[in-house]
Amino acid sequence: MAARATRDRRSGGVIALLLALLSASGCAAIPTSTSPIPVNPSAGPATAAAVPEPSAELDPLSLVRGFVNASASPEGDYAAAKAYLTPDAAKTWDTKSPPTIVESTFNTVPGQSEDQPADGKRREVLLQGKNFGRLEADNSFAQQIGDFDIPVEVQQDDKGQWRISKPPSGVYMPLSGFNQNYRRVTLFFYTPDFGVLVPDPRYVVVPPSTSIPLRVVELLLKGPASAMRGALATAVPNGAVQRKDAQEADDGALEVDLTRVGDLTAQVRKQIVAQVVKSLAGVTSSRVRVLVEGAQISPEQNEWRPADIQSGDALITPDAGQSGLLVGGGQVRQLGNGAQVKGPAGAGDYRAVSAAQSLDGTELAVVGRLDDGSVRLRVGLTEGDLAAVDLPANTMTRPTWLYSGRVGEPATEVWTVVNGANVVRVNKGDGGWKANAVNASDVAFLGDITELRLSRDGTRVVAVVGGKLVLAAVVRGQDSSVALRAPRLLQVGVLGAAVQSADWLAQDVVVAGTSINAYPIAKVNIDGLRIERFNTSNLTAPVTSVAAAPGRNVVAVDQSGIWSAGDIGDVWRAGTITTALPSSVFYPG
């Protein structure tokens, strides 16, 4: 039909840019010449079990609806969904492209009368609904918004039963079906300096559950998700594969046997073990035995549990003695009791608008107001005089610190956004603190940046851009350049452009304060698939500032004061601080 080309009005926006992969290599003696033992493909072989046929009484609208629901199961190359297709359509339907995930509520309606075939044995059905996201080729999830309106042609077979002759291009599955058939797993890769393990969430098919460890290892060996290439590093050499399926041995340990790894240093071996064991921790409680060519990878230890792994958490965890700070009335104060911080920052000498404390609590970055109304960034020891940075600005976002890289060493990098568009990192050198530009054009393109927070591992940023919640990868070049890449909108369908503030609750979870009465504070996974609403009791939108950190209460500022809650179901408790309404609250980081 000529009209078909104009009827597919799918719309949606996914911002996903592919970046270069960091890989690691080293040297030690491990055999490389043996041949791998074939491993089953992660998708599994086509099922031999009989697939139930659709009901003979299905009308065209119900047929298309049943087809979409059945498309949630990829078993046997979508055998259940192919039962709704004509034999020819089943052969040509594209099941290899990444599937599109749509809202669970969708419609099937008759096509317009002028588009209907005249012979009576064919019908056009419009599949209508809202996009939710897409499962990328690397098994990561990316949100995708917008409506779709797709023509689907059905025809009667020799038995008078309706079958789909022209299905949608690619797989469309409802969110409810996706949640039933896929499981979230968390892979772990490294920061570029190999100091900290960083989560990288993916989604794998659930059945059969016994092969989930196999699929986790397969994905791990392929490296970071495309959106994080260049931001994360892997110790696994390029080209490494499984020598045989990851599976439980007779003694109950889960064995992962690798080949084609080349020569490995002792340090790289430990890093590979750390990535494998941490990545499997969410899918097995068994001991993990990592092998190379059938021999244990490390002479120091044969079996591993997550507790044996050095993840680098100590480098990115706020100092336990630091309870957090706030800015109010131009002063920097303790969040716990409202006492002024010692030194000029606490005395109000800088007329503070916002501030940030380094992870160890020893350093402070303050955005202060000048007499002409402009602002100035100052950085230095928390209780000492803060040096002014040569960075003229009318506005600056609340600063955010990068971890130092070694326990006991002071941080040397802090970020802010100047005038809503220019992302700047301020580095400490021999001559003091100097501002350097960050290439953030991909993010600034989306609107004014009013909040930007580095993840405490430094590999991602969460930002409020044009009122929307945005996540991006931090890519550091070998020439010391830094760029924000692959920005993605998070839960824009729920949060819209109403986000006021954001912070990192964990490496893979952010919290957002909004101006939405029903959603004053939300908890969002970094891939945007899941959002949870905090208890709304006592809290009033807008929430203009929010502070979060692992193992700490979430602290929020609304028009009535400071509130805190331990988890999403907890009632917000009022703070006891009697001071001017703070402009910002923050934990170290």
- Best CA proximity match to 384, nearest among 405, 359, 366: 366
Which CATH class, in words, describes the domain spanning 315-586? mainly beta
Q: What angle do CA 241, 242, 243 make, to 5 degrees?
A: 115
Which three-class secondary structure state does DSSP give residue 349? coil
Strands annotated E in 249-292: 254-259, 288-292
Question: Of 321, 315, 347, which Cα lies nearest the Cα of 332?
Answer: 347
**What are the C-alpha distances in Å from 68 to residues 47, 57, 172, 179?**
19, 17, 6, 14
CB 255 within 8 A of CB 249: yes
pLDDT per residue as tens digits for the range 517-535: 999 999 999 999 999 999 9
Tell me the DSSP string of 191-204: -TTS-SEEEEEEEE
Contact 130, 146 (CB under 8 A): yes
State the pairing for strand pair 584-586/325-328: antiparallel
What b/e string do you get for 294-324 counting C-beta neighbours within 10 Å, with b at 16 or more?
eeebeeeeebbeeeebebbeebbbbeeebeb
Sign of torsion, CA 493 494 496 501?
negative
Domain ranges across the chain: 4-35+56-180, 183-314, 315-586
Q: Please, where are the H alpha helices in 351-473?
A: 441-444
Collapsed DSSP state (helix, strand, coil) of residue 432 = strand
pLDDT one-digit tens code per residue, 384-404:
999 999 999 999 999 999 999
Please state, in angstroms and rounded to a whole number, the distance separating the CA atoms of residues 203 and 223.
15
Instruction: Give the mean pLDDT per block of 10 residues along the chain (589 residues).
Output: 39 35 34 37 45 90 98 95 97 95 97 69 95 96 95 93 96 97 98 98 90 96 97 97 92 95 96 98 94 94 94 92 94 94 97 97 97 97 97 98 89 97 96 96 97 98 99 96 98 97 98 97 97 95 97 95 95 84 91
> Looking at the domain that runs over 4-35+56-180, which CATH code has it been given?
3.10.450
Whether residue 484 contacts residue 423, with contact meaning beta carbons closer than 8 Å, is answered with yes
Task: Note the pTM of the prediction, 2 decimals.
Answer: 0.89
Q: Please tell me if the domain spanning 4-35+56-180 has the same topology as the one spanning 315-586.
A: no
